[in-house]
Structure 1
Amino acid sequence: MRNPLGVLLLLLLALQACNPARAQAPRTLVRAEAVRGHWNDASPPATGWTPVTLMDQWQTRWPEHDGVVWYRVRWQQADAHAPTGLLLDYICMAGAVYVNGSLIGRGASLSEPLSRAWVAPQYYLLDAPLLKPGENELLVRVSGLVAYQPAFGTVTVGDPEQVQALFRANKRVRFDLQMLDTAIGAVLAAVFGLFWLLRRQDTTYGWYALNGLFGMLYGLNWVKASPWPFSTTDGWQAFVAGCYMAMAACYLIFLLRFADRRWPRTERALLGVAAVVFALALALPQVFGPHRNVYVMPMIGLHYAASAAFMVWALRHGRTDQKVLGLCIVIPLFTALYDFAIYIGLVRADTMIGSFASPIMLLGLGFVLAHRFAATMRRVEGFNAELQREVAVATGELSAMLTQKHALELAHSRAGERLQLVRDLHDGFGGTLVGAIARLQQAPEDTSKADLVALLKEMRDDLRLVIDTTAQEQASLAELIAPLRHRASRLLDAAGIDARWQVEGLDGVHLEPAHSLDLLRLLQEALTNVFKHSRARCVDVRIEREGARLRMRVTDDGVGPMGMASPRADGGGAGFASMRLRVQRLGASLEVRDAAPGTELRLDMPLAA
């Protein structure tokens, strides 16, 4: 072993020769041949093949061709037994894949409604006996419509692990990021839609939620593998274009609201155009699908122009949150220009890079709106705290005022009660006392003891009325009448007079203390006259409420009127003159008439509302 290094090199070369699969690096094939076919073709035409460079968009070569184009790609395979990875970068719309004449993959629908193979790359693992040594042939049948950039992308063959890694990276960009973008948009739309429902006056959240909703529907164009629920590709593409129009209109109004601006005419025009286009796209998909650029491109221009204008305005004049939103727009604005170039065919590529920037923009927008909502809530919480402090101070002041007012009212009430008692004693009992004194002064010296006792009883009854009305100031009229009824009934029964009482509807009647006293004195005076002068055997007392009026009737069967030939004032308020004075204070009417036999007294008095 004179040269161990040479032996080691020979061993490494032998190992590499025994593992040809690892020696076969991935190769990207860009040269192919293409030929037009028909919708129902099961195999390609034998003639008419044209050399093309992949990726190939056939509308540039056959601008009127809707249908099938066959693509043929050949490559050299050193070892047919070595597993080989096959990556088809892009097929638009639907495709069927053959290797050496054997079908290895097929779209769900190769005719309308076309399946949508372009949303993700396709990977296949090839092995013997499918492969053969030397030249191998890949045949791809592509079904497409010229209005939607039908195309076939590059082909990559080589080591399965490396090709599959390329497939995963490509799929991550073209499909997974788009799916993530759509999911983030849907979540943010739902969250800020809930914010708007909780705070209807701030329509910024509502317009962002609508923008997110239509943006999610528009984003489905990059992840859906079929045009369902539409029966044609035109129907789906018209729907997607209509969603973009609605999304852009809502986005522009959202920018206005975020800038604290309202342009009613412009907003109505935007919404009107978007609504009309959306409705027509659904009604006439065969027109609005293939010709979507006619109305979508002006809206794209307006979309980008408004974004740029908002960015400039926010950086110059905006608040912090508006500046952050302006910065969030910068990167998506530039990536959108590149994607727009792909959309209109200026750039031949199969991957739009907006999927990289869109999640960043969505998260930035979400952060800005969440920050705005949090700031609003902080202002509300601060206002609530300040309001609570002010309410506490006001409550304390009001409590002190109410306590002071209550004390004053109690003092005033007590003073009023004392004054009322003095007035009642002066006007009622005082008059009775003065009359009694006058009667005693004018009475003969041989006045009987019975007359003196009767006079004192009259004074006692008047004093009881004053006490009853003062002690039961809050009582109803029925409760005030009850003591008088009891005393009068006992007095009349002792005199052999049958007293029949009928009191109705007085439980809820409350009069002022002075009015209650006047009414009770009237009733007492009427019954006293019956007792003293009528020589009656029975008396009917009826007191009732009729609507807003109080009616009282006292009827006896004596010699009336109430045994009196003329008005008298026998002291103590007895007599018709005293009765009429009380009736006048009550605002009532009094009628005393002959009831044949006997006397009837009628009182009609209005009740306060």
Structure 2
Amino acid sequence: MKQFIVHYFFIVVLSLLSQISTAEITQSINAQCAVQIHSIRTVKTSSATVLPQQGWQSVDLPDQWQKRWKNYDGAAWYKIQWSWSCQNKAKLTEPVAFLIDYINSTGAVYLNGDLLWKNKNLQEPLSKSWNVPRYWILPLAALKPENNEILIYVKGNAFQSPGLGRIFFNDVQTIYDVYQKKIWERRTLFQINIILSITFGVICLVIWLLRPKETAFGWFALSSMLWVMFISNVLTTETFPFPTSLMAAQFNLVFFVLYIISFCIYLLRFIQKHLAKVESVAYFVTGLAIVGIFITPEAQIYLIFALIFLIYVSLFFLTSFYISYHAIRSRRIDYIFLSICLMGILFFTLFDLFLLSTYTGTDNGPLSPYTAPIITFFLVMILGTRLSHNIKKVEAFNAQLEVKIQQVSEDLSSSLNEKHQLELENVKLQERIHLSHDLHDGLGASLVRSMILVDQSAHNISNKQFLSMLKLLRDDLRQIIDSGSSADNKIPVSPILWVAPVRHRFSQLMDELDIHSKWIFPSEWQAVPNALQCLTLIRVLEESLTNIIKHSQAKHVKISMVYITENQFILNIEDDGIGFDAECVAQQGLSIGMRSMNMRLQRMGADFKLSSEPGCTIIQAIVQLKLPKLTID
């Protein structure tokens, strides 16, 4: 809360002040000349142009007619009779300057019957002159040598404590200096405070919009805007935009009430407190207070408004004491600085109240207008320190997070390296398994075939034939070595060309063993397998034919390839041998060749089927091919 509240309610507090007598009727103009004030009188009036002849009463200034005329809403004339004189027959060679401390609320000034000045609005909505000191230079030609008269017309409402402030006569320079001092205290300092409040409020509002979790900034911005609306009453000289003086006073008190509530909530949020029940009660009471401000009868406004004002000042005092108590307990530096600022506000507020309550007519003004901008600045600095502290905490957290991320990245990298090593080992193991299968299916089949040729030969094998057998074994070995890059091998243009090498090798062998073979393959691909599928199926075919030659004792073998659908075909190997227990072989894994065929087909996504009985053994490889994607131009 800004201490300007006390200064703003200077007029209200004047009702508590002791009256200042005009016993000091002489006011010096220079070393030789002075003004003597003979009398100051006042009277009620109903006209701003007609001067009553009766009912005049002597008064002392400053004067508030609420003490004399209870609940009087209207106008009054003040008559000041004075003269000037010089000692030692000196002559007055300079004009006399005249200053009025304030007129509450609106009025006009006449010198010896001539109008010097008047407010813009002498009727509702009344102009405001209680916040503006005024002075005039009275030329010697307009002054009478013995008796001069200043008439001051004043109009106001009872709830505004209407009346007239102190008056001063002196030389022009002295009066001007007094005027400038009062303008500085009553207007310039308030303008500075409003500018600071708007600036700090906008900054805090932007910070809150960018960081909604920083609610203290939002509440401070709201309180700053409400303070600006409240304290602007000190600077405005008209009631615009309000149609009456009463409505302007009502809204101004509403701004003050809302300011106190929002500022107290800001203080609580600053120390990170959410007193839900207390705040709910405060909101409810504030709602009732606002309603009461607008429905209070005009005769009771002075009392009710002062009561509401004191209640919310007390609320601020209680909040300040609570903040100080919490600061002492927590021992946090920012809380302690905030508590010091609040105690400064309370000290200067109480000091100004004491100064006004013991007012003796001196020029000692309140300290609040001077200290408020400084304390406001420190409040914002404390709030900025809080933001800086929070940002540093975020930066420290980000630094810790970066370290953790780096550590996790290193752990993840280590895990990936371990996984990569395991994958390499697994690949090596798979390659070994593939190599063993290829050796078994390819080179093994060629060895068995060669062994059978040697064993079944009725005469010695010639060197040329033996060399041919070795070259065949060499070619099979090369094929196994090159199979790792089988994905890059060329695919035969037709199924017949694809199976031709195997058919040539095994047909010769089966002819020698008196085994009749039948090969049925389509003349072209409907859906073309890839190189790896072609090689796998060749290995399956070689392993199947090798087993037939070694174990089946078959006389007839049928090898066929049939497309079931456009992208699915079956490689079928059938013989009329003695057969075997297919279920036992599948469950116990007794045949390396069978396991090899099954694993190869599974890796390429094909199905392996086996059925066997005496006289009929069938091995099937069911292959699903991917159709090429169609493109539409």
TM-score higher than 0.5 here? yes
- State the structure with bigger RCO (CA 8 A, min sep 6), 1 or 2: 2
In structure 2, the residue matched to 1:32 is 40
Select which of 48, 64, 88 maps to 1:41. Answer: 48
In structure 1, the residue matched to 2:384 is 370
Contact 1:29–1:156 under 8 Å retained in 2: no
Contact 1:70–1:140 under 8 Å retained in 2: yes
In structure 1, the residue matched to 2:277 is 265
| d(CA) in 2 for partners of 1:289, 1:177 | 29
Aligned residues: 548
Q: Deviations over 1:43-70 (max 9, x none)?
A: 3323222211111111111122112222
| d(CA) in 1 for partners of 2:106, 2:57 | 21
Contact 1:534–1:563 under 8 Å retained in 2: yes
TM-score normalised according to structure 2 size: 0.70
In structure 2, the residue matched to 1:92 is 104
* CA displacement at 1:325 relative to structure 2: 2.3
| d(CA) in 2 for partners of 1:356, 1:406 | 73
Does structure 1 residue 190 correspond to structure 2 residue 202? yes
Q: Secondary structure at the match of 1:42?
A: coil
Does structure 1 residue 69 correspond to structure 2 residue 93? no
Q: Secondary structure at the match of 1:483?
A: coil
Aligned pairs for 1:564-579 within 5 A:
none
| d(CA) in 2 for partners of 1:120, 1:325 | 34
Q: Secondary structure at the match of 1:373?
A: helix
Aligned pairs for 1:385-400 within 5 A:
385=399, 388=402
* CA displacement at 1:336 relative to structure 2: 2.3
Aligned pairs for 1:70-469 within 5 A:
70-78=77-85, 82-275=94-287, 277-278=289-290, 291-311=304-324, 314-315=327-328, 318-337=331-350, 353-385=367-399, 388=402, 401=414, 405=418, 408-409=421-422, 411-412=424-425, 415-416=428-429, 418-437=431-450, 439-441=452-454, 443-445=456-458, 464=479, 467-468=482-483
| d(CA) in 2 for partners of 1:383, 1:26 | 75
Counterparts in 2 of 1:274 and 1:524: CA distance versus 1, 3 Å? farther
Contact 1:189–1:210 under 8 Å retained in 2: yes
In structure 2, runs of 5+ residues without a counterpart are 1-27, 86-90, 504-519, 549-555, 581-590, 611-619, 627-633
Q: Deviations over 1:456-499 (max 9, x none)?
A: 8899689758844x336xxxxxx67x734447464579999763
In structure 1, the residue matched to 2:485 is 471
| d(CA) in 2 for partners of 1:524, 1:542 | 25
Contact 1:30–1:53 under 8 Å retained in 2: no
Q: Give the residue type in structure 1 aligned to 2:181.
A: A
Q: Deviations over 1:383-442 (max 9, x none)?
A: 54555556556656665x368537735752552354244233245325533542454355
In structure 2, the residue matched to 1:553 is 569
Q: Deviations over 1:503-523 (max 9, x none)?
A: 49x99xx9xx9x997567569
Q: Deviations over 1:22-52 (max 9, x none)?
A: 44778696952112223x6333323222211
TM-score normalised according to structure 1 size: 0.72
Counterparts in 2 of 1:253 and 1:21: CA distance versus 1, 3 Å? closer
| d(CA) in 1 for partners of 2:467, 2:263 | 105
Q: Secondary structure at the match of 1:134?
A: coil
* CA displacement at 1:266 relative to structure 2: 0.9
In structure 2, the residue matched to 1:10 is none
| d(CA) in 2 for partners of 1:96, 1:452 | 139
| d(CA) in 2 for partners of 1:126, 1:289 | 40
Contact 2:110–2:152 under 8 Å retained in 1: yes
Q: Secondary structure at the match of 1:120?
A: coil
The root-mean-square deviation of aligned C-alpha atoms, in Å, is 5.1
Contact 1:95–1:106 under 8 Å retained in 2: yes
Counterparts in 2 of 1:456 and 1:489: CA distance versus 1, 3 Å? farther
Does structure 1 residue 603 correspond to structure 2 residue 619? no
Contact 1:588–1:605 under 8 Å retained in 2: yes
| d(CA) in 1 for partners of 2:537, 2:559 | 24
Counterparts in 2 of 1:159 and 1:451: CA distance versus 1, 3 Å? same
| d(CA) in 2 for partners of 1:483, 1:527 | 24
* CA displacement at 1:243 relative to structure 2: 1.7
Contact 1:567–1:576 under 8 Å retained in 2: no
Counterparts in 2 of 1:491 and 1:421: CA distance versus 1, 3 Å? closer
**Aligned sequence identity (%):** 23
| d(CA) in 1 for partners of 2:573, 2:38 | 134
Does structure 1 residue 52 correspond to structure 2 residue 83? no
| d(CA) in 2 for partners of 1:525, 1:153 | 123
Counterparts in 2 of 1:368 and 1:138: CA distance versus 1, 3 Å? same
Counterparts in 2 of 1:524 and 1:488: CA distance versus 1, 3 Å? farther
| d(CA) in 2 for partners of 1:406, 1:287 | 89
Contact 1:31–1:53 under 8 Å retained in 2: no
